[in-house]
Amino acid sequence: MIPVFRPSMGDEECDAVSAVLRSGWIGLGPRTKEFEERFADYLGVRYAVAVNSATAALHLAAKALNLEGAEVVTTPMTFVSTNHALLYVGAEPVFCDIEPDTLNLDAAKIEALVTSRTKAVMVVHYGGYAADMDRILDIARRRKLLVIEDCAHACGGEHRGRKLGAIGDIGCFSFHAVKNLATGDGGMVTTNDEAVYRRLMKLRWLGITKDTWSRESGDSHGYSWYYNVEELGYKCHMNDITAAIGLVQLAKLDAANARRRALTERYNRALAGLSEVETPVRRDYMTMPASHNYVIRCSDRDGLHEALKAKGISTGVHYIPNNHYEMYRKFRGATPVCDAVWKRLLTLPLFPDLSDEEADRVAAAVVAHLRAH
């Protein structure tokens, strides 16, 4: 069976984990700090805070930006973590429709949803393809809104040469098993704002003012055992085992993303000219997509899913619109484009170790099914 996603791990990751296990320090410590510094450098931001998932990253971001009680314009075309994070802090998601081709927030529809209670826009760079950040930032500036970038799909991607996650007020990354940079589970929050950074550092470890590593390593001047608890934080920091994998994966990220882009182009060529299929689109501002997934819009989505399964090819659907879930139906915002397009979405296998031959087999199976029907 060809899976939809598969992590790409090698001897370097195994060696890095082994070194941490033998080091005597496997919790939050020096590797986590190093990963944060390298990640911030890679992105071109001042601060990065390592956590245990993007769900936690998004939750802490919403908390650090004080979104309690506010409305947040958001997308229904995402994994439910994006919007759960708003509910965790008592913010209210307001659903904005998406563009039918990029599946990103439709910037032209944001402003009509803004009220005196709106405090932020939640942007998901779907599939690793940048949302229309020029227009979104323009609205945010004029209407005094904060911008959160959910970069779960977008690690290493760029908008007009700037790394995604370095453009809005705060960026949230996932290192879940199938993501572009994979550590099993893990996440990162990025920002240029020192006050937000300090709050995030506290929130990720129960509201405690200094972590065990800075106490141990003598950053704490004097009373190394002393700490204060300033607010109700959470237990969601990263550990050094995860960070060690992350450091290796970060060094491989650009090459892995280049392979994802090459496979994307290979699929695009193989599927070009099929009237029943639309392939991912690339706008001029998407100077470097992270190409996390390969999502086609097609007729007979469910039939194609079954036909590919019968040929040993797994596919997926990303996503059921969040405002279709029972618990999200009560929230404001009409999304007719999303309501229609999601029924045509099918995610084909895409991961760096997918061979050209496997990609050709997938594309040939798509073509054969659609020609036959």
Interaction site with ligand PLP (CB under 6 A): 53-55, 78-79, 81-82, 124, 150, 152-153, 174, 176, 187
Pick 81 or 191: Cβ nearer ligand PLP: 81
Pick 82 or 190: Cβ nearer ligand PLP: 82
Give the helix ranges, DSSP H, for the chain: 11-23, 30-43, 54-64, 81-88, 133-143, 194-203, 212-216, 240-271, 301-310, 336-341, 356-372
Which helix (DSSP H) or strand (DSSP E) does residue 188 occupy? strand 187-191
> First CA to last CA across the chain, in angstroms?
23
Tell me how far, at minimum, the Cβ of 60 lies from ligand PLP, in Å: 12
Pick 186 or 352: Cβ nearer ligand PLP: 186
Name the token pair of 342.
Answer: 């999601």
Tell me how far, at minimum, the Cβ of 188 lies from ligand PLP, in Å: 10
Q: Which of 184, 170, 174, 322 is nearest to 244 (CA)?
A: 184
97 CB neighbour count, 10 Å cutoff: 23
Name the token pair of 209.
Answer: 């003012």
Q: Which of 63, 163, 179, 202 is catalytic?
A: 179
Distance, in Å, from the CA atom of 124 to the CA atom of 190, rounded to the nearest integer, reads 15
Pick 243 or 271: Cβ nearer ligand PLP: 243
* Residue 33 a catalytic site member: no
Distance, in Å, from the CA atom of 237 to the CA atom of 186, rounded to the nearest integer, reads 9
Tell me how far, at minimum, the Cβ of 149 lies from ligand PLP, in Å: 10
Tell me how far, at minimum, the Cβ of 290 lies from ligand PLP, in Å: 12
The residues carrying an active-site annotation are 179
